[in-house]
Structure 1
Amino acid sequence: MKRHFQFTAIAATAILVVTGCGTGGGASNYPSETVTYSIPFGPGGQSDVEARRQEPMLEEKLDTDVNITYKEGAGGAVGWTELVGEQPDGHFISGMNIPHIILQPMTQDDAGYETDQINPVAIFQGTPIGLAVPADSDIETMDDFIEEANSGEQMTISGSGTYSGHHLAFMQLSNIEDLDMEYVPSTGAAESIQNFLGGNTDAVFANSNDLVTYKEDMNILAIGAEETFEALPEVPTFQETGQDFTASIDRGVAVPPDTDEEIIQTLEETFLEIANDESVQEEMINEGFEPLAMGREETQEHIDQLSEEYEETMRELGEIE
């Protein structure tokens, strides 16, 4: 909110401080220092991959240094708790994952933050989630998987985080097929896929780019895309294999509450420029991502709509009253 001052010598000084003239702060000369880009997961995961791709372009467009840091824990909640407590001057931004930022406050008494405290700037990437088993497994189809899961011995499934997109997919599949399976959460997608590839779990809910990268080491049974996924055209969707749900993670960037609208607009324009860059989009597609370019307003509407849908889903699953 803009403050109004009477034009006195003292007020004029106050204006200089508020606008940052000569002080290194404020919206008018943003950014005036290094921008910290916090990733609420560990290094090597999808959020990190995209931030590293964006880093040199952000530095060029914002004309400042960008420092990528990591604040992993609780499926991203530790990082988002840090975000909402940071100064709203645009020099601290954070990766933002949906549905995590909706499900965690909805299902936990104290996630450390509330969904409406996450101040969205843009969404730039989608990542459908698929279910896979080892390449040498006797399980070849979703029907085989369901039969095995019902055979008596509890199956373990690796996934990234609790009340994340992976966890939601696990709960939905378990509910639809009435399966008793164990979900094994990790601090990030990179750790989750390594747990699976190391033989520590029977299956994995994995992001589409990991499915593309490691497709020779696994048998991908189904994917949570709404239609055939371009990078994995031979893999059926869950809807095609008889499970009526989709599963995906949307990635974007957010700033602390009360950040100046001019600063948000600067960041929004910058991130959308990068998201709409043809070379960036081509790289994403080749790596198994879905390029997106949703601005602040559209992103907020998307979060609001999904919040309503997830509330209904969580009630159906018995996760909330």
Structure 2
Amino acid sequence: MRTILTTAFAALVAASGALAEGFPDKAMTYIIPFNAGGESDVSARYQQSEWEAVTGQQVVIQYQPGAGGAQAWSQLNSLPGDGYTVMGINMPHTVLQPLAGSVGYKTEDLTPVHYFHYTPNAIFVTKDSEYQTLADLLDYAKANPGMVTFAGSGSNSANNLAAVQLNAAADVITTYVPFSGTGPSITAILGGQTTAGFNYATSGVAQGDALRMLAVAAEERMPAFPDVPTFKELGFDIVGGAYRGVAVPASASEETRQAVSDIVSKINAQPGFVEKMESGGFVLTDIGYDKMDAFVAERVEEYTAGAKALGIIK
């Protein structure tokens, strides 16, 4: 049974800001399973600036890129389970990758302890595009099946899933064009190689006025983009993107898992962190260890259905 905080412990935290049993009492290591510069790195760097204020200790960020994150995730359980080494974890990657083939780990092998944000999917066109609204784009798609092309970050990715969801929800046929990452896909949109892009909302901050966002897959309008409607506002039940969190090795104790989750949750509440994340186009979540089983189960169900639509599985 998962450990829950006792009243005495909660009182101690409220009084002193301390974490479980003095943890941590030395620097921690935070492994990012991607190259520097992407959304996972940016959000981890924002966390890093608050880490010492919350824990009294520094955190050192290291990068272990390869195979879309799979290289690092396949090695997570070989790391010490004392809580001093944690790793970034992403969905739908960690569900779709094992479904697509052998990647050295299974979804159930991983131990996420906190998902602290997601970057919503969003549709972008160039600033001078003839498509002023999502309705304009969908009208053209209905009249010209397959002719609307979406640049996105990789096959079997959150962007790819969103394009499939839109096709089903709007009863249209569009063509998804995968690129090796967010940067190349944005370059394709700007260069007119595709009609539009299904990318992450963070690209709207990075590109400024060069791109126009037609809709975003968030529950509510985002502070960074108050004039951009959500898909739900426009009549399409599409919410989601790339969820990012922190995981620990499976050997970590229940107390350690909860303690790491508490650190991330405390950082999520820091005003400076909130401001940076929201201004950057991220949507904060606070899905702690006590909610993890239910959250992952829901996502696995959702992404398995998406995998069928993508043709990953039958």
- Relative to the length of structure 2, the TM-score reads 0.81
User: Is residue 147 of structure 2 the alignment partner of residue 183 of structure 1?
Assistant: no
| Identity percentage of aligned residues | 35
CA distance in 1, matches of 2:286, 2:239: 20
1:302 is matched with which residue?
295
Match of 2:211 in 1: 218
1:260: which partner in 2? 253
- Counterpart code for 1:120: P
| Distance of 2:228 and 2:79 partners within structure 1 | 42
Query: Between Structure 1 and Structure 2, how many residues are aligned?
Result: 294
Q: Does the C-alpha gap of structure 1 residues 260 and 209 become closer, same or farther in structure 2, counting only changes over 3 Å?
A: same
The residue number in structure 2 matching 1:167 is 160
Change (3 A) 1:172 1:75: farther
Instruction: Decide which moves more: 29-38 or 139-148.
Output: 29-38
Amino acid at match of 1:112: G
Within the alignment, does 1:127 sit opposite 2:119 as a pair? yes
Structure 1 contact 121–299 (Cα < 8 Å) conserved: yes
- What residue is the counterpart of 1:98 in the other structure? 91
| Residues in 1 aligned to 2:250 and 2:187: alpha-carbon distance in whole angstroms | 35
Name the SS of the counterpart of 1:126 in structure 2: strand
Q: Please give the alpha-carbon distance, in whole angstroms, between the structure 1 residues aligned to 2:165 and 2:125.
A: 18
The answer (yes or no) to whether the contact 2:122–2:198 under 8 Å persists in 1 is yes
1:168 deviates by 0.9
| Aligned partner (choices 36, 52, 61) of residue 43 of structure 1 | 36
- Aligned twin of 1:12: none
Counterpart position of 2:4: none
2:68 paired with 1:75? yes
SS of match in other structure, 1:309: helix
Greater Cα offset, 196-205 or 43-52: 196-205
Partner Cα separation in structure 1 for residue 187 and residue 77 of structure 2? 31
Q: Is the 8 A contact 1:156 1:184 kept in 2?
A: no
Q: Secondary structure at the match of 1:214?
A: helix
Larger radius of gyration: 1
Q: Closer, same or farther in 2 for the Cα pair 1:315/1:57, shift >3 Å?
A: same
Instruction: Find 2:105's aligned residue among 96, 113, 117.
Output: 113
Per-residue deviation, 1:104: 2.2
Deviations 1:216-255 (A, max 9, x none): 1112111112233333232222233344322322221111
Show the counterpart of 2:227: 234
1:141 equivalent in structure 2: 133
Q: 1:231 to 1:139 in 2, by over 3 A?
A: same
After TM superposition, the score normalised by the length of structure 1 is 0.79
Q: Greater CA deviation, 54-63 or 229-238?
A: 54-63
Q: What SS does the corresponding residue of 2:90 show, helix, strand or coil?
A: strand
Deviation readout 1:86-141 (Å, 9 max, x if unpaired): 33332331111222222222x31213221112211212113221010111111222
2:160–2:176 Cα contact (<8 Å) kept = no
What SS is found at the alignment partner of 2:291?
helix
Aligned-CA RMSD value: 2.9
Asked if the contact 1:120/1:300 (under 8 Å) is kept, the reply is no
Contact 1:126 1:291 in 2 (8 A): yes
Change (3 A) 1:152 1:166: closer
